[in-house]
Amino acid sequence: MRFPTFLKSLLLGVPVGVTLLDCVGYVARVEGVSMQPALNPDASVTDYVFLSRWAVRNMEVQRGDIISLISPKDPNQKIIKRVVALQGDVIATLGYKIPYVKVPEGHCWVEGDHTGNSLDSNTFGPVSLGLVTARALQIVWPPSRWQQLPSTVPNSRIPITMGKRPATVANSGSKTANSHAASNGSGSTSNSSIATP
């Protein structure tokens, strides 16, 4: 019995598609105003961004990266924020329970660009790198907003002191910052919209 061409294509296409979504990346709609002006600059524009899972596969993020992560407050929600500080950095907080925080090992400090309109580390504290699911690389829709997303930290939010980054070591042709990097817990499904509470 011969399989029709459609079924052969389906049997090959589904695993390839799932692998791409799970390992490489996907496009997601950005909801909310917490990342203004970088994302959703006004109420009439909704940005769609390419989220690269591959870029964070070794839990390596840099200051200024815009990342998607599982919300520490609601594990069923993904949020998108900017990395402001990394492990070892000391950051002046904006309304957190203490005025200065030294970011613990295996964590980062994330904030929305729209200060005061963002549910971020100033509310829930440092975030485990294990919650990071992807890095936003580009705005892909609407066409008038096509652009790469730069990894920059606003001058007013640069950490007071910067911690030392662990030495990178070669690991089968790739580099890893931590030998204890946690799994990001991502499954083969993806949520196609990211909130910016």
Q: Could you give the residue numbers annotated as active site?
A: 34, 81
Beta bridge mates, 136 = 51
- CA distances 197 to 30, 64, 188, Å, are 11, 19, 25
- Tell which residue, 67, 64, 62, 65, has the closest CA to residue 25: 67
- Tell which residue, 188, 151, 186, has the closest CA to residue 75: 186
- Tell which residue, 22, 160, 38, 43, has the closest CA to residue 91: 160
Per the CB < 8 A criterion, the answer to whether 73 and 119 are in contact is yes
Q: Which two structure tokens, joined as six digits, stand for 26?
A: 């996907």
